[in-house]
Structure 1
Amino acid sequence: MANVLGYTTMDSPIGPLLLASTEEGLCYIQFEDEQNGLGPLQRWCKQTFLGVSPERDDARNEAVKAQLLEYFEGKRQTFDLPYVLHGTPFQKSVWNALADIPYGETRSYKDIAIAIGASKAVRAIGGANNRNPIPIVIPCHRVIGSNGALVGYGGGLPIKEHLLVLEGVPLQIQTSFDTAIR
């Protein structure tokens, strides 16, 4: 169990990011600046039973910032960071499957469900995807609807689209984003 959760913020092409790490590794990324992201981080700490209060620690997160900047500059396709996932066993199985999606490729929610051996759990896959605590590093943006539509993303669909374009994913133009998760 971590006794210190150090956080920092960084500017990025998709807006401010709040990053938090324990001694074991990265455990949280939020699409917010410090002012708007600290409250959600504190709530997340309580929900995950970390038993810690976040403390500003820029140095602890320097490697995370450096690798994210390389990613945004198109110089990094995979992350080489220690990270710690806090979630249910089902959520962790989904997040581990997301981590296996190669740079520049996408999978559908159904593909993920099949990959973890839960072919009927497509909606639950969407729920776990939404609760991914370290987006970008665990690439939940690479999950799309079975018809190719960009559906659901905690950071918003414009950020999801930006990340996929950065990775060179050819996107279908959809007239509506209200496509059901399939």
Structure 2
Amino acid sequence: MRFCRYPSPLGNLLIAEEGDAVVYCQWEDSVDERIIATWEEDKEQQNALLTVACRQLTEYFAGKRKVFDLPIRLNGTPFQQIVWKGLQQIPYGEILSYADLARQIGRHKAARAVGNANHHNPLMIIIPCHRIVASNGKMGGYAGGIARKAWLLEKEKGNE
């Protein structure tokens, strides 16, 4: 697996590709170094797919991109796959509750399970798990931290 570091306004993101698909995008400060110890870093930015992913992230952070157009591959349970596909349907600048998403995917009583799948999303920002909040409107959890989640939601709200 090849990866690069993307310097976002909120800290570095690690982006990895394997077999011509983006498979990983996480905040570097929340990643266990042992995970990436066997990966090959693309320090010279020679990998075309990683370059495209970085360009699209730059466009996103500049408020010019609302939907990512990257080949992705998601590895997870069937339920996680359903939740992650549901997350991709949430429009830029909008939010849903865990319960709303559970209803949308046909699992009305699975709000907690949706939260758990959300927590294991391997493609932060690209699959917008930051657009999910608690039913009472509170931020809830976010692997990158609540401050980042709030920043992302505010950024999207201001660029609709």
Same fold (TM over 0.5): yes
Q: CA RMSD in A?
A: 1.5
Could you tell me which of 75, 80, 83 is aligned with 2:72? 83
The residue type equivalent to 1:54 in the other structure is W
Task: List aligned pairs for 1:45-64, cutoff 5 A.
Answer: 53-57=38-42, 58-60=45-47, 61-64=50-53
Gaps of 5+ in 2: none
Q: Which amino acid aligns with 2:138?
A: A
- Map of 2:63 onto structure 1: 74
- Which structure 2 residues correspond to residues 113-152 of structure 1 after superposition, within 5 A? 113-152=102-141
Higher alpha-carbon Rg:
1
Q: Which residue of 1 aligns with 2:34?
A: 39
The structural deviation recorded for 1:23 is: 2.3
- Note the residue ranges of structure 1 that are not aligned, 5 or more in a row: 43-52, 170-182
| Deviation for aligned residue 1:38 | 3.8
CA distance in 2, matches of 1:108, 1:13: 26
- For residue 122 of structure 1, report the CA deviation from its aligned partner: 0.9
Instruction: Name the % identity.
Output: 46
Give the equivalent residue in structure 2 for 1:15.
11
Query: For residue 109 of structure 1, what is the amino acid of its counterpart?
Result: Y
1 CA distance for matches of 2:96 and 2:53? 25
Matched residue type, 1:59: Q
What letter matches 2:59 in structure 1?
Answer: E
Letter in 2 for 1:121: A
How many corresponding residue pairs? Answer: 153
Q: CA deviation at 1:128?
A: 0.2
Query: 8 Å contact 1:113–1:121 — kept in the other structure?
Result: yes
Query: Which residue of 2 is the match for residue 93 of structure 1?
Result: 82
Separation of aligned partners in 1, 2:80 and 2:104? 13
Corresponding residue SS for 1:11: strand
Shift in Å at residue 137 of structure 1? 0.4
Q: CA deviation at 1:41?
A: 3.8
Give per-residue Cα distances to partners, 1:46-100, cap 9 Å, x unaligned.
xxxxxxx421123321000000011001111111111000100100000000000
Normalised by the size of structure 1, how large is the TM-score?
0.80
